[in-house]
Amino acid sequence: MEFTVELNRVTKKFGDVVAADNVSLQIGRGEFFSLLGPSGCGKTTTLRLIAGFEEPTEGEIFINNENVRDKRPYERDVNTVFQSYALFPHLTVAGNIAFGLERKKTPRHEMGRLIEEALDLVRLKGMGDRYPRQLSGGQQQRVALARALVLKPEVLLLDEPLGALDLKLRKEMQLELKSLQEKVGITFIYVTHDQEEALTMSDRIAVMERGRLEQVGTPEEIYEFPKTRFVADFIGVSNFFSGQVIRAEGETLLVRTDGNLDVTLPLDHGFTEGQRVQFSIRPEKFSVGPQGKGRDGENELVGEIANRIYLGGSIHYVIALSAEEKVTVFLKNERTAGQQPSFSVGERVTVSWHRDDSVILGD
């Protein structure tokens, strides 16, 4: 695979604070890559390192296979869409878009055409004469996008570009950004703290926490097979268990949880008898009923419904399996005429799930 951006053991310290800790990343050409994490996790710092606004304390950054150690931001073939948009208030929309083209010494006649094309691309035709303050938040966001895209960079860096927009507009812009990225075909590196946004738009996601990369993978990998407790917790909802390995048996690992429940996990050769193990199960992986499906590898436990939240399309239950262990279960609302397969608080039910739906977590 061809990489447009590569980070090799990059560390950035601000005094004693380690904002990025030994980060290594390889981002492919044309990829929509997201840096996801809570605020202060180092995602913006990583982006700023790539843009050239910060210099790494250690490590190397490559853009198009070229080490950019001594390159100033204006010498790098990347452009940024800032969270605050950072539109020049003293220039019109067209003036803002022209700013980068002028630096590139683009001929006048060509510039007019490129600006028109860029405005067209972000659906702001005819707005070239307005000033940024005369535009709405969403429109300003598009101008910021057009200003960067008109330069046809190898890589576009986006720092929470939708953060300031209201929810409805956000959703619209997410889809629009994604289709725009597919249309122009350039690499997007997208910083966000919104897991749903990252899952919706990205080809791959890097989850960051306290300056470190927790996991890099496709949205599906990240959601279905989180590697650490942090990832399982940050993305979606997870039920966590910890316990002790009893023994390995064929394809399974037999585990007794701290709440004294015996369950099976997929075999992992890293574990031996008596070792502590931590695992998680997504709430929609459970089935609830009088009895399990009786599939091979199915875990079946009896529990009591402790809480029920009706959400229309789905119903969320909290089910107590033991004194300390409760699981959150999402069930589809399957009510049809004459049938009402729903449970009420206090009812005793059988909770079942396949052992392969349990994900063993690292630290």
Partner 1 sequence: MKRGDYLKPLDWFTSAGYLFLYLPICILIAFSFNTSRFSVVWERFTWEWYGRLIRDPLVLDALKNSVIVAIVAMILSTIIGTLTAYGLYRYRFRGKSVFDGILFLPIVTPEIVVGISLVIFFVMIKYNLGLTTIIIAHVAFDIPFVMLIVRARLQGMDRTLEEASMDLGADEWTTFFKVTIPQLLPGIIAAALLAFTLSFDDFVITFFVAGVGATTLPLKIYSMVRLGVSPKINALSALIVLFSISLITVADRLQRMRV
> Which spans of this chain sit near partner 1 (rule: CB under 8 A)?
51-53, 72-74, 78-80, 82, 84, 86-90, 99-100, 103-104, 147-148, 151
The whole-angstrom separation of Cα 117 and Cα 106 is: 15
User: Where in 160-230 does DSSP place strands (E)?
Assistant: 187-192, 204-209, 212-217
The CB density around residue 58, as the number of other CB atoms within 10 Å, is 13
Shortest Å, Cβ 124 to partner 1: 18
Enumerate the β-bridge partners of residue 316. 309, 330
Shortest Å, Cβ 145 to partner 1: 13
Shortest Å, Cβ 193 to partner 1: 19
242 contacts 277 by C-beta, under 8 angstroms: yes
DSSP 239-260: EEEEEEEEEEETTEEEEEETTS
Shortest Å, Cβ 59 to partner 1: 22
219 contacts 205 by C-beta, under 8 angstroms: yes
Nearer to partner 1, 53 or 310 (CB): 53
Nearer to partner 1, 82 or 240 (CB): 82
Place of tokens 């390192």: 49
How many CA atoms lie within 13 Å of 287's alpha carbon, on the beta-carbon side?
Answer: 15
Nearer to partner 1, 64 or 314 (CB): 64
Nearer to partner 1, 25 or 87 (CB): 87
Buried b (16+ CB within 10 A) or exposed e, 251-285: ebbbbebeeebebbbbeeeebeeeeebbbbbbbeb
Shortest Å, Cβ 151 to partner 1: 7
Shortest Å, Cβ 197 to partner 1: 21
Looking at residue 165, its amino acid is L
Nearer to partner 1, 6 or 54 (CB): 54
Shortest Å, Cβ 88 to partner 1: 6
Nearer to partner 1, 30 or 100 (CB): 100
The CB density around residue 185, as the number of other CB atoms within 10 Å, is 8
Nearer to partner 1, 155 or 205 (CB): 155
